[in-house]
Amino acid sequence: MREAAVVGVGMHPFGRHPDRSLKDLGREAVWRAIDDAGIDPRRIGCAYVGNSLGGLLTGQEGIRGQVVLHDCGLDDIPVINVENACASGSTALRGAWLEVASGACDVALALGVEKMFVGDTARSLAALAADSEIELAAMGMQFSAVYAIHPKYNLRGRMDEYGWTARDFADVVVKNSRHGALNPYAQHRRALDADEVLASPMVTDPLTRLMCSSIGDGAAAAIVCARDDAASLSERVPITIAAAHLRSGHFVTSGDPHLTTLRDMVAALYDEAGIGPEDIDVAEVHDAMAPVELLVYEQLGLCGPGEGPRLVREGHTAIGGAQPVNPSGGLTSRGHPVGATGLGQVVELVWQLRGEAGARQAKERPLTALAHNQGGLLASMDSAAYALTLLTR
Amino acid sequence: MREAAVVGVGMHPFGRHPDRSLKDLGREAVWRAIDDAGIDPRRIGCAYVGNSLGGLLTGQEGIRGQVVLHDCGLDDIPVINVENACASGSTALRGAWLEVASGACDVALALGVEKMFVGDTARSLAALAADSEIELAAMGMQFSAVYAIHPKYNLRGRMDEYGWTARDFADVVVKNSRHGALNPYAQHRRALDADEVLASPMVTDPLTRLMCSSIGDGAAAAIVCARDDAASLSERVPITIAAAHLRSGHFVTSGDPHLTTLRDMVAALYDEAGIGPEDIDVAEVHDAMAPVELLVYEQLGLCGPGEGPRLVREGHTAIGGAQPVNPSGGLTSRGHPVGATGLGQVVELVWQLRGEAGARQAKERPLTALAHNQGGLLASMDSAAYALTLLTR
């Protein structure tokens, strides 16, 4: 397959936008991406649109992408609506990559868009259910509670084993909130201190509210083309999609401390790209709940088991550190409009690799960036979808 | 790209299955396809799952495919949930084809599944809305009414121009009902006569109820692999996916009698495959409303403008005729569980090409088969998704 590259990116700021519809959010991200690439929109040969909750939350169940893109003036192309819970955006990007890499299409659009503020928070949370027969009907549980007790995360067990404390989780939030405060696209733009995070209302022990991502509205888009065509299509520095891996998780036994699906995926990705964890210059990871960021450090090989809090304390993963993680502010600060999140990560990393991230430029001239996005939990299963996207300049 | 082929197919009978969930429907189709191919399910490297209405109708908004496939014992692979209204099943097949054709994956599963009987028909119909802001909120219209008055179909205009009568539409239903009566997977298995079709309650002039597909539950699945690997993987005669084209429609002006998107797609498909309309041995077309079948005859080049009723009267498109269309019974008789329909067409055509269709074998040793599936209408747009799948033995 041929190499594919991102030549244009755009976002609608993540946040609470009660007056904006799915169409409004999507249109802004798409047109910003088209303008950024500087391409004629008629060059776009297909579109992948990631959205997770539009059916239950907006009533737009079918052809969500066509409804949004028709409003952008884009039609007469293949439109593929994809869904993978919180990994829907990355799934859209992978689709655009496969179309271009395979030669099926020369220029592809990937859009992630989500509208969550619909005036009924309980309904928004219920729509996030993993297996609706089990979580909602039988257990009546909501998402953050599932996260806290799920054997895959086993947060209490990790705290016992590693000596992690709630303060360690708060430190992750503090770091990301400082990053988010520098990001005009972020939902939460105030730098927090650890005491404030710890004092916020308890959601599910050990998670306080400020350790959890909140619901949000937003959209992010990317234009993908063949690497060899990039120079003739756009004046932008092309950012190569070196790998776009997607997998659903496997069964886990209760209390299993190993996220083996993700670990295996990371190994395969490093192997394919011929790199190691030390080569990651900057990353965006899926901190839907702050402790997840610490677990993902281990899975990515940025540190050994249990060593995540040290990386945070030493500034290793802060802007200006050796391997900045979540310079955008991550899910906890930039926000987590479900289907838009994965593409929001990719947009941020494209800006970082181009050196266009302004006050939150993670390091000078980064060459290699990794996005980790995941979505959905099933009772006896690892995450329903893991997505890893490796970008290089 | 390399050639890809279908080596296994399976269906859950279409119909009213109030006691069966999305998982039950999907599991049966998937395992029948795996058994049909005779492959080890661990060979399946990725899955595309097409479903349109599961969020609004079953409450399973996110990760529908993972929920269904987990219940089948399939996990640890990429799962891509796709949606394209009534063309969701074909969109899933195209995804599986692209994975295999590109070399990204060696064996891919495509599943289309839909659960529509949920005890509230008004809710089922409302979920089918095209643009929910316009059709539902502003106009309060339901799907069949949109079909009847949409400028793309312009049924009254065609009747004036071509001299078509309601009886011509009834004749299509009669033909397809005779086919459906022979199909153990069909929802409606009684051969109808034209008077009965004409006397059934008027839905939207000129459409009577028996001219319209009804809501249904069902699932259909296909296993796709590289053509060159087929002999080593399965004892089944491989059916080559010669083309899998998908496109959304373009803007139409009011009263435009030309379905130009579909016409252009058909021309491109024939050109790519080096065939003409005379080479189509058997077809499944999207007769969501009976007159659509007559319009599609024209678009496929099976006849000139307005000549569709003659093809039906002469038996050209009946089982045993020169070019049988909808040997399964089509959407009006076999049924139309939205997200399953496109794969139901493909399953039928695979059986036809293998010579395994029993009493409804359309002709002896067909070599070339075409599926036409489409989905979604937007106010000023041609269909939201057209899909054409060309299969060859």
Amino acid identity at B70: H
Contact B81 A83 (CB under 8 A): yes
Closest CA to B8 of B231, B225, B222: B222
Contact B75 A250 (CB under 8 A): yes
User: What are the backbone angles phi and psi of residue A96, rounded to the nearest 5°?
Assistant: -60, -40
Distance of CA B223 to the CA centre of its chain: 17
User: What are the backbone angles phi and psi of residue A390, rounded to the nearest 5°?
Assistant: -105, 125
pLDDT digits 0-9 by tens, B355-370: 999 999 999 999 999 9
Contact A85 B62 (CB under 8 A): yes
* CA A213/CA A143 separation, integer angstroms: 11
How many beta carbons lie within 10 A of that of residue A283, not counting itself? 27
Q: What integer is the mean pLDDT of A127-138?
A: 65
Contact B384 A63 (CB under 8 A): yes
Q: How far is B80 from chain A (nearest CA, A)?
A: 7
* Angle of helix B22-37 versus helix B64-72 axis, rounded to 10: 60
Give the single-character DSSP code of A212: B
Q: What is the pLDDT of residue A172?
A: 98
Q: How far is A44 from chain B (nearest CA, A)?
A: 13
Is B286 catalytic? The answer is no
Q: What is the pLDDT of residue A134?
A: 63
Is A212 catalytic? The answer is no
Amino acid identity at A280: I
Closest-CA residue of chain A to B59: A132
Report yes or no: B284 and B357 within 8 Å, Cβ to Cβ: no
Contact A76 B248 (CB under 8 A): yes
Poorest-pLDDT segment among A213-217, B87-91, B235-239: A213-217
| B45: pLDDT strictly greater than 70 | yes
* CA B189/CA B333 separation, integer angstroms: 7
Q: What integer is the mean pLDDT of A138-153?
A: 60
Q: What integer is the mean pLDDT of B41-65?
A: 92
Amino acid identity at A112: G
Q: What is the pLDDT of residue B128?
A: 73
| A311: pLDDT strictly greater than 70 | yes
| B87: pLDDT strictly greater than 60 | yes
How many beta carbons lie within 10 A of that of residue A218, not counting itself? 34
Instruction: Give the strand pairing for A107-114 and A79-83.
Output: unpaired
Higher confidence at residue A122 or residue B256? A122
- Partners of A247 on chain B (C-beta within 8 Å) are 76-78
Selected for mutation to probe chain B from A2, A248, A269, A336 (highest B CB count within 10 Å) is A248
| A271: pLDDT strictly greater than 70 | yes
User: What are the backbone angles phi and psi of residue B268, rounded to the nearest 5°?
Assistant: -65, -40
- Partners of B251 on chain A (C-beta within 8 Å) are 75
Q: What integer is the mean pLDDT of A229-258?
A: 85
Higher confidence at residue B185 or residue A155? B185
* CA A178/CA A328 separation, integer angstroms: 9
Q: What is the pLDDT of residue B143?
A: 60
| A77: pLDDT strictly greater than 70 | yes
| B149: pLDDT strictly greater than 70 | no
End-to-end Cα distance, chain B: 19
Query: What token pair was written down for A34?
Result: 């088209």
Q: What is the pTM of this model?
A: 0.95
Contact B62 A129 (CB under 8 A): yes
Q: What integer is the mean pLDDT of A11-15?
A: 98
Contact A60 B381 (CB under 8 A): no
Residue of B80, B128, B375 lying closest to A82 (CB–CB):
B80
Report yes or no: B166 and B194 within 8 Å, Cβ to Cβ: no
Pairs from A354-361 (Cβ < 8 Å, separation ≥ 24): A354/A236, A354/A237, A354/A239, A354/A393, A357/A327, A358/A182, A359/A182, A360/A179, A360/A182, A360/A183, A360/A319, A360/A327, A360/A328, A361/A319, A361/A327
Contact B80 A79 (CB under 8 A): no
SS3 content of chain A, % helix, strand, coil (to 5): 40, 20, 35
Contact A56 B55 (CB under 8 A): yes
Give the single-character DSSP code of B277: G
pLDDT digits 0-9 by tens, A290-305: 999 999 999 999 999 9
Q: What is the pLDDT of residue A125?
A: 73
- Partners of A50 on chain B (C-beta within 8 Å) are none
Q: How big is the CA angle at B111 (ends B106 and B114), to the nearest 5 degrees?
A: 170
Residue of B53, B75, B248 lying closest to A78 (CB–CB):
B248
Which residue in this structure is represented by tokens 């493909």? Answer: B346
Phi-psi region of A196 (alpha: psi -120 to 50; beta: other; left: phi over 0): alpha
| A391: pLDDT strictly greater than 90 | yes
- Partners of B133 on chain A (C-beta within 8 Å) are 21, 23, 60
ipTM of model? 0.94
> What's the sign of the alpha-carbon dihedral B256, B262, B266, B272?
positive
Q: How far is A181 from chain B (nearest CA, A)?
A: 31
Selected for mutation to probe chain B from A25, A53, A61 (highest B CB count within 10 Å) is A61
Q: How many CA atoms lie within 13 A of A165 on its CB side?
A: 7
> Beta strands of chain B (E only): which ranges?
4-15, 46-50, 79-83, 107-114, 202-204, 207-208, 217-226, 239-247, 282-284, 368-378, 381-392
Q: What is the pLDDT of residue B250?
A: 77
Q: What is the pLDDT of residue B148?
A: 63
| A124: pLDDT strictly greater than 80 | no
Higher confidence at residue A137 or residue A347? A347
The secondary structure element, H or E, covering residue B292 is: helix B290-300
Selected for mutation to probe chain A from B2, B3, B52, B63 (highest A CB count within 10 Å) is B63
Q: How far is A190 from chain B (nearest CA, A)?
A: 31
Give me Rg for the CA atoms of chain A.
19
Q: How far is B271 from chain A (nearest CA, A)?
A: 16
- Partners of B97 on chain A (C-beta within 8 Å) are none
- Partners of B247 on chain A (C-beta within 8 Å) are 76-78
- Partners of A58 on chain B (C-beta within 8 Å) are 132
| B235: pLDDT strictly greater than 70 | yes
Closest CA to A295 of A168, A115, A105: A168
Q: How far is B197 from chain A (nearest CA, A)?
A: 30
Which residue in this structure is represented by tokens 């002709």? Answer: B363
Residue of B61, B83, B249 lying closest to A76 (CB–CB):
B249
- Partners of B381 on chain A (C-beta within 8 Å) are 66, 70, 75
Residue of B69, B78, B136 lying closest to A59 (CB–CB):
B136
Poorest-pLDDT segment among A8-22, B90-104, B116-130, B373-387: B116-130
Contact A82 B84 (CB under 8 A): no
Poorest-pLDDT segment among A82-91, A181-190, A311-320, B156-165: B156-165
Q: What integer is the mean pLDDT of A100-106?
A: 98
Alpha-carbon dihedral angle through residues B238, B243, B247, B252, given to the nearest 10 degrees: -120
User: What are the backbone angles phi and psi of residue A50, rounded to the nearest 5°?
Assistant: -100, 125
B129: confidence class by pLDDT, cuts 50, 70, 90:
low
Beta-bridged to residue A109, according to DSSP, are A47, A223
- Partners of B66 on chain A (C-beta within 8 Å) are 248, 376, 378, 381, 384-385
Contact A83 B64 (CB under 8 A): yes
A129: confidence class by pLDDT, cuts 50, 70, 90:
low
Poorest-pLDDT segment among A137-146, A341-350, B299-308, B348-357: A137-146
Q: Which of A12, A17, A46, A86 is catalytic?
A: A86
Q: What integer is the mean pLDDT of B124-131?
A: 72
Distance of CA B233 to the CA centre of its chain: 27
Q: Which of B17, B46, B72, B86 is catalytic?
A: B86
Instruction: Give the strand pairing for A207-208 and A202-204.
Output: antiparallel
DSSP string, B156-178: HHHHHHH---HHHHHHHHHHHHH
| B122: pLDDT strictly greater than 60 | yes
Contact A132 B61 (CB under 8 A): yes
Size of interface A-B (CB pairs under 8 A): 200
% pLDDT > 90, chain B: 76
